[in-house]
Every structure is written in structure tokens, then in C-alpha cells.
Structure 1
Amino acid sequence: YPSMWAPGNLTSSTELREGCGSVSVAFPITMLITGFVGNALAMLLVSRSYPRRESKRKKSFLLCIGWLALTDLVGQLLTTPVVIVVYLSKQRWEQLDPSGRLCTFFGLTMTVFGLSSLFIASAMAVERALAIRAPHWYASHMKTRATRAVLLGVWLAVLTFALLPVLGVGQYTVQWPGTWCFISTGGGGNGTSSRDNWGNLFFASTFAFLGLAALAITFACNLATIKALVSRCRAKAMASQSSAQWGRITTETAIQLMGIMCVLSVCWSPLLIMMLKMIFNQTSVEHCKSQMEKQKECNFFLIAVRLASLNQILDPWVYLLLRKILLRKFCQV
């Protein structure tokens, strides 16, 4: 990967980190602690609730929640400690990782667990839409085994995609301010061939479009679920006297689904859109070391990545922990 912030540049990576207001070791430490607590609590709740569920729909939901929490937790444990160590060492990444293998592993991990979380959220949205809009088909065709197969398939498919840079398509490079690695969004410098540049652009743009596609699927399915719930609530109100209960259930579910959509859009849209912008402008972190005006854009990119990482912290809360009924049962246990 390109040698960033090497001697002879404007300033050292350590000086740049200390002079940048958006860079602080407190961010990754805080996010690691809060993410670990939330996802571990969600996994504990799922492990206690899952064996007691007889409904296939509820078991599938809990299985998806547990898988998502495990994905977010493992992703944080594999990446955040590295960022903390690199930052506290006050050395350039190249000094700690001269072979570049840690950078490749870090970027691959970011890609795998980032996309996996998005597509697991999409799978959950599809599962909810099928359960509400086609309950008879869902009851006869959707098994817990099928849910496991889909979740495992998501992991394997994303891992296969993330391995493309190892095979020569795309590249994982050190990112601003030199404490982490991710997908290169531009050319790798004068020593990089045109073929490698096109590989970088293809891999980075594919990642961004896959992420946006996952968001679009989640939004479409959640909106379809809300529409079906509202229609069913109106039908129940006309056919029975339990309209108040159905209205409450519909309202709570609609609020939760809209909350999920808001969290996903706020956390992931800035990173994905900014990646496409940097790809279009052929901008990469290489420009941060030589062009001071580009450092502001790189700081925005760092903030966008932190927002995406924040999604790993919020996932267990918006999907499970803030559900009043489950929280009450957890307290009883």
C-alpha cells in the first residue's frame, strides 16, 4: 500500500492527528465499550428467549437478531483494538505493519462486517415483509433452517467479495489519519498501473452500490410492512372490538421500523455517498498528505466511517433492546 505521511512530507502523521479536531483515541475506546455492552446484552437476551419460542416466525426473528449482534460484536473486536494500539503508539502504520498484511486484514474485516450487517438487516426486512404480507406462504415455506442458510450465505458471499483485493482486484490502503485501513477510492499513485487503478475503482464503486442496494431493499420492505400493518389494522377495526390493541401494535411496529430506517440512513448514507463522490473525483487518502485543502474532505470521510461504525452500536437497541415487552421479560428473568 502507499507510504503515507512518510518523512519529508508536510508534517508527521502524529502531528496531523493531534492537530485534527475530529481525531481522538476517545472515540474508538467509547465505541468499543458501548458496542460490546449492547451487542453482548442482545446476544444474552436472544440465547435465553430462543429456546422458549414455539413460533417459527419469532424464532427466525430472534435468530436474525442474534446473528446481527454477533456480526457487529466480532467486527468491533477485530478492528477497534487495532485502531487504539496504532493511535497510542504514535507511530506511522508502516512502522507497525511493514509487510502490509495487517492493513489488508483490517480492510477486509471492515468490508466483511460492514456489508454483512447491511445485508442481514435487509434479510430481516424481507422476512418481516413476507411474514406480514404473505403469512400462509411464510408459514408453509419459511423454516428456521432456511433462515440459518440465508444468514450463512450472506456471510460467505460478502467474504468472497471482500477477498477480491487479495486476488488483485481493488486495494486496501491506510486511511486518514493513518490509524486504520479501508478500500482505496482512487489511484494508488504514480507507481500504480492503469489496470490496478481500474480495479480499485471497480471494487470501491461495487462496495458503495451494494451498500446502497441493501439500504434500498430494507427501506422498500419496511415500507411494505408498514402499509400491510395499517391495512390489517383498519380491517380489524371494522371486524372486531380489538381495534385498540391492533392499533397499539401497529403503531409500535411502525415506529420501530421507521426508527430502523432512520438509523440506517443516517449511519450509512454519508459513507456510501461520499465514497461514490471520491471515486467520481478520483480522490483518495494519498491527496491528504500533499494537499492541505483535501484534509477537510478526509476528515469528513473519517466522520462518515465513524457514523457507519455507530450503526454497530445502535443495531441491538433499535432491533431488540428498546422493545418494551422483551425488556420487561428480561427483567423478570
Structure 2
Amino acid sequence: MSPWQQRPPNASAAGGLAPRGNGTGRAERGSAVSVAIPLTMMLTGIVGNALAMLLVFRSYRAKGSRRKRSFLLCIGSLALTDMLGQLLTSPIVISVYLSGRPWATMDPSGRLCDFFGFSMTVFGLCPLLIASAMAVERALAIRAPHWYASHLSPRATERGLLAIWAAGVALALLPLAGLGRYSLQWPGTWCFISTAGGSAFAAAFASLGLLSLVVTGACNLATIQALVSRCRAKAGGAQPGSRWGRIATETLLQLLGIMCVLSACWSPLLITMLRMVAEHGAGPCRGESPRWEVRRECDLSLTAVRLASLNQILDPWVYLLLRKILLRRCRQAASAVSKCSNAECRERSLTASEGTRRTAA
């Protein structure tokens, strides 16, 4: 999902909700966004997700990882899905941008547009569903550990992930059955679900995405509440359990990061799609000569898609790569605060202040 190119201000915006292959939408070399940006984002996403899969593979093969193998399977599947989405969509966008030609001249049959829209739908919806599955898995592991240990095995997790991918592919294939269609989107460098005419297909995609966000947020909040309660109970006990506290802190940071990234990246696009469906596709980008105010609305819609595309890059860092980094930084900060709060540090500060007074005198 990488529609990062933008046309010059005097270009027509008719291609935003028009049928594919209408000839509008030119990705010119003089555009406001350099091709270096989508290229850098593609490489960053591929490297980050590949590194995440490597770390997941090493952790999965470790002897002490049996209890968290289901979670590792979900993380690895998410990284694989995000990387495939980058590999299938970003090169097409970059090629259209570099060619400087309208999409219709490169794709007169519209099949490339269908493929691009299919990829955007599959690799946009599946990460949201996988994130929901991970949130449910963590909530069950914390709040119902006995049921989790006896019912949720890695094999069951694999079947669940296969069901998610199958559901994403089945939804993306609905246009082949005549239920919805993919169309060229403004500014003419990418294709996605058409919202014209109050598309039920677009409404289904947006509704499923928002439902995934709600489920993820609810499960993460439930997990955070359970972790806080356990931390308070252990703090009042004879043995606080520093290792458990470290794991709880790590999990809390990760869950908060997941909630913030998912909400910030996906909510604008999903809400915009539902609004456009409710307006029967009468979006501001349908005009032939959009005024400055209308063009600003078009840019806001495009920004929503760009935020969603950022999710593929941020996912591996939020879910895996930043866990130990963030925890290490927090431990270092806590250690520095504790050292500066002891009596020895206070004595040194008093001595230094007395020396400063004598020098000033």
C-alpha cells in the first residue's frame, strides 16, 4: 500500500473516483513528492519486516519459547503479510511515477488496476485481522491462562491464520463476482476499491477494518487492566517478582504502542471510506477543475491512504524490534533516577553546591 505520488496543482482531479483506464491521473516528474520517498519507504518496510521474521524464526526455535509460539506465529505472519504487500504494490507505483504517463496508457485492459486493487485489499485487511487475533491471543494468555494452555496450540493458531488469509482473499475477489469494483484513484498512480454509488464492497471493507480496530483496542485494554491488577497484587506480596514486573512492563509498552499505531494509521482511511459510501461516492475529487479548498480535501483523503501505508513499515518495529530497545531505555532511565535519589548522590550535590558558593564569594 504505497500511493505516495502526487500530481502538480493544475492537474485534473477527475481520476479520483472515476472508472479505471479513463486516462486521467498523470504521475509527472515535477510532482511535489520525490520518488525517493516511496522507494525509501519500500526498502525500509522490506528490511524491517525481514529482520522481524528472522528474529521470530530464532525465537521460535529456542527451547524456552513453547508458551509463546502462538504469539510468535502471529508476529511472523504479520511481518510476512506486510512485506508481501510492499513487494507487490510499491514497485508498480514507482514505475507509474517514473514513466510520467497516464495509467490508461500503461494498463489499457485494466487488469493491472484490478491486481493492484486486489493486493491493496488483501494486504490492507489481513494485517488488521491478524492484529485482532494477536490481541485476542494476548488477552486469553493473561486473563485465562489455564484455558489458553489447554486449548490454544500452535496448530490451532496456524489454522486461524490460514482462515484470516482465506477471508481476506475471498473478500478481495468479490469484484470478480460483480460485487463492487476496483478503480483508478486520485492522483492516478494507484487503484483501490471504488466508493461510487454507495458501494457495499467498500462499506464491507471499512466496516471489517473498524471492527478489527475495536476488537484490538478492547482486548488490549482488558490485557492492560489484568497486568496492572497483577502488578499491584505482586507488589503487595512478600516477593514482588522483578522478572514478572519486567515482562509486564514490556507487554504494557508494546500494547500501548500497538493501539496508538493502528488507530493513527487506519482510522482516517476507514472513516473516510464510510463517509464517502454514505454520500454515494459524491466525494470532493469528482470535479473537473477543483478549487483550492476542494483540492485540499482531496489531499486529506490521499493523506489517509498514506497513513495506512505507513502501518506496513511500523508494524515490525512496534510488535517486535522496539520491545527490547524500549524496555532497555526505560530500565536505564529508572536506574539513573534511582542512583540520583540515594544519599550518596545527594551528598555529592551538596558538596558541589557549597564549592560553587565559595567560588562565587
TM score, norm. by length of structure 1: 0.87
Quickly say closer, same or farther: Cα 1:296–1:268, change in 2 above 3 A.
same
Root-mean-square deviation (Å): 2.2
Look up the match of 1:331: none
Look up the match of 1:152: 162
Q: What is the alpha-carbon distance in structure 1 between the residues aligned to residue 287 and residue 190 of structure 2?
A: 14
Look up the match of 2:82: 72
Instruction: Please list every run of 5 or more consecutive structure 2 residues that lacks an aligned counterpart in the other structure.
Output: 1-18, 329-361
Instruction: Please list every run of 5 or more consecutive structure 1 residues that lacks an aligned counterpart in the other structure.
Output: 7-11, 187-196, 329-333
| AA partner of residue 222 (structure 1) | N
Q: What is the alpha-carbon distance in structure 2 between the residues aligned to residue 318 and residue 151 of structure 1?
A: 20
SS of the residue corresponding to residue 323 of structure 1 reads helix
Q: CA deviation at 1:247?
A: 3.5
Q: What is the alpha-carbon distance in structure 2 between the residues aligned to residue 248 and residue 137 of structure 1?
A: 24
TM score, norm. by length of structure 2: 0.80
| AA partner of residue 180 (structure 2) | G
Quickly say closer, same or farther: Cα 1:14–1:146, change in 2 above 3 A.
closer
User: Once the two structures are aligned, what percentage of the paired residues are identical?
Assistant: 65
Please say if 1:182 is aligned against 2:201: no
Q: CA deviation at 1:326?
A: 11
* 2:26 pairs with one of 2, 9, 13: 13
Q: CA deviation at 1:254?
A: 1.3
Look up the match of 2:114: 104
Quickly say closer, same or farther: Cα 1:182–1:212, change in 2 above 3 A.
same
Q: What is the alpha-carbon distance in structure 2 between the residues aligned to residue 181 and residue 307 of structure 1?
A: 16
Quickly say closer, same or farther: Cα 1:277–1:26, change in 2 above 3 A.
farther
Q: What is the alpha-carbon distance in structure 2 between the residues aligned to residue 127 and residue 78 of structure 1?
A: 29
Q: CA deviation at 1:44?
A: 1.0
The runs of at least 4 aligned residues of structure 1 exceeding 6 Å deviation read 325-328
Q: CA deviation at 1:325?
A: 7.6
* Count of matched residue pairs: 308
Look up the match of 1:297: 297
| AA partner of residue 237 (structure 2) | A
Question: 121-130 or 56-65: which moved more?
Answer: 56-65
- Please give the per-residue CA displacement for 1:268-300, whole angstroms capped at 9, x wherever unaligned: 011111111222232358615443453322222
CA contact 2:93–2:190 (8 Å) conserved in 1: yes
- Please give the per-residue CA displacement for 1:155-195, whole angstroms capped at 9, x wherever unaligned: 00111011111211111001111111001111xxxxxxxxx
Give the 5 Å matches for 1:1-333. Answer: 1-6=19-24, 13-14=26-27, 18=30, 21=32, 23-186=33-196, 197=197, 201-281=199-279, 282-284=281-283, 287=286, 289-292=288-291, 293-324=293-324
CA contact 1:25–1:87 (8 Å) conserved in 2: yes
Q: CA deviation at 1:319?
A: 0.5
Q: What is the alpha-carbon distance in structure 2 between the residues aligned to residue 144 and residue 288 of structure 1?
A: 52
Q: What is the alpha-carbon distance in structure 1 between the residues aligned to residue 160 and residue 133 of structure 2?
A: 8
| AA partner of residue 259 (structure 1) | G
Q: CA deviation at 1:252?
A: 2.6
CA contact 1:56–1:143 (8 Å) conserved in 2: no
Look up the match of 1:9: none
Quickly say closer, same or farther: Cα 1:74–1:289, change in 2 above 3 A.
farther
CA contact 1:4–1:289 (8 Å) conserved in 2: no
Query: Could you say which structure has the larger radius of gyration?
Result: 2
